[in-house]
Copies of this chain bind each other. A is one copy, B any other.
C-alpha cells in the first residue's frame, strides 16, 4: 500500500525504528551497512520501512556524511541544439549511478555562470561544465574545491572531454578543394569558445596547406539570425563555399542565401558543424559530426570516477611552479584525464562542384 512516489508525509528513521521495534541506528545500518546486521533484522527493517513508505532524507544524510548524491551540469544555452543530447545522456548515466542532476543555463554569460556555480556548489559533489565561458582562473579555483569535468574546454590538469573537430574540419576543406572551391568563408562562433578557437586554427592551417584562402566572418552569439545576417558579408567576400560554426548558423545562412536567390548547392556550398539539425532539414546539410551524446556520457563517466576516487578533484599540483611537463594532455588516470572524441565529415546535400564566378 506504500506510495510508489516516495515520502507521503514525513516518515523518519525514528518512525521506522519504532514500528520495527529496533533502534534508529539499526534502521540506518539496514540501509547503509547491511552486512553488520543479521539478515533477519535487515529483512525485517526493510519490510517495515517499505510498508511505511520510508524514503531517506537527503538533506539529513548529506549533513552527516558530506555526500549529497547530486551533480550539476552547466551549459551556456540549453536551447542550442548541441546541448540537449549531451545533457540527456549525462542525466541518464548519472541516474544509473544514483546521482541527481542540477541543470544550470548561464545564458552565454560568464557572470551568470559564476553565480550559478556558487549557488549550486554547496549542494553538489561535482560539476560538469559544458563549453564554459568562465575565466581560467575561476575554473581552476573551483576545481581545487571539488571534482570538475570540462566539456570543450582544454585546461591542463583538469578532467575534460574534447570534441576534436579538426578531423572533420580537415575533411571538409579537402572536400571543398576537390570540388574546385578556392575561396572559403568561415562563420565564426563566440570568441571565448574553445571549439571556435580550435576550428579557426584548424581551418587556417589546413586551408593554407591546401592553397585555399579563407575569410573569417565574425558573428556574435551563434544563432539563426546571426547566420542569416552574415550572408551579405559572405557575398562580399567572394567565397564560393562556407563553413559555419554550427548547424544553427548554417540554417540561417541557408535562409539568407535563398532570399537572395542563390541556390545551394548549385551556386554555393555550405558545411555545418555538430550534426544537430543537419539531418532534419532539406536540403540535408553537409556537416561535421560531433557526438554530443557520447560527450555527455563520457563526461558523466569521468565525473563518477572522480567522485569514487577519494581525494580526487583537487587540481593535480596546486600552484607548483614550472612549465607543465609536456607529455601532452592524455589520460592521466584521474585528475587531469582528457577524453578526445573524434569527428568526421558527413556529406549530404549542401556541397557540390564550384561554379566559377557565380557569386562574384
List the interface of chain A (C-beta within 8 A of B). Answer: 3-9, 55-60, 62-63, 68, 70, 77-79, 81, 83-85, 87-88, 91-92, 95, 98, 100-105, 107, 114, 116-123, 138, 141-142, 145, 224, 248, 251-252, 254-255, 258, 277, 279-284
Contacts and interface: CB of A to CB of B under 8 A. Distances in A.
A118 to B, nearest CB: 4
B58 A122 contact: yes
Number of copies: 2
Contact of A84 (B3, B58, B84, B98): B84
A300 to B, nearest CB: 13
B63 A91 contact: no
B145 A7 contact: yes
Contacts of A114: 4-5
Contacts of A100: 102, 104, 119-120, 123
A194 to B, nearest CB: 20
B224 A279 contact: yes
A281 to B, nearest CB: 4
26 contacts: A3-B141, A4-B114, A4-B141, A5-B114, A5-B142, A5-B145, A6-B117, A6-B118, A6-B122, A6-B145, A55-B118, A57-B122, A58-B59, A59-B63, A59-B68, A81-B84, A91-B104, A100-B102, A100-B120, A101-B103, A251-B280, A251-B281, A255-B282, A255-B284, A277-B277, A280-B281
Contacts of A79: 84-85, 88
Nearest to A9: B145
Given A6-B118, A122-B6, A60 B58 contact: no
Contacts of A85: 79
Contacts of A141: 3-5
Given A59-B68, A102-B102, A280 B282 contact: no
A117 B55 CA distance: 12
A107 B92 CA distance: 9
A100 B63 CA distance: 19
Contacts of A102: 70, 100-103
Contacts of A138: 4-5
A104 B117 CA distance: 19
A119 B119 CA distance: 21
Contact of A254 (B70, B83, B98, B282): B282
A55 B5 contact: no
A138 B59 CA distance: 24
Contacts of A101: 102-103
A24 to B, nearest CB: 15
B63 A118 contact: no
B224 A145 contact: no
Given A81-B84, A255-B282, 7 more contacts: A5-B142, A59-B122, A70-B123, A91-B105, A95-B116, A95-B119, A281-B281
A63 B91 CA distance: 26
A105 B88 contact: yes
Nearest to A115: B95
Contact of A59 (B118, B123, B142, B252): B123
Contacts of A258: 282
A81 B81 contact: yes
B78 A88 contact: yes
Contact of A55 (B9, B77, B103, B122): B122
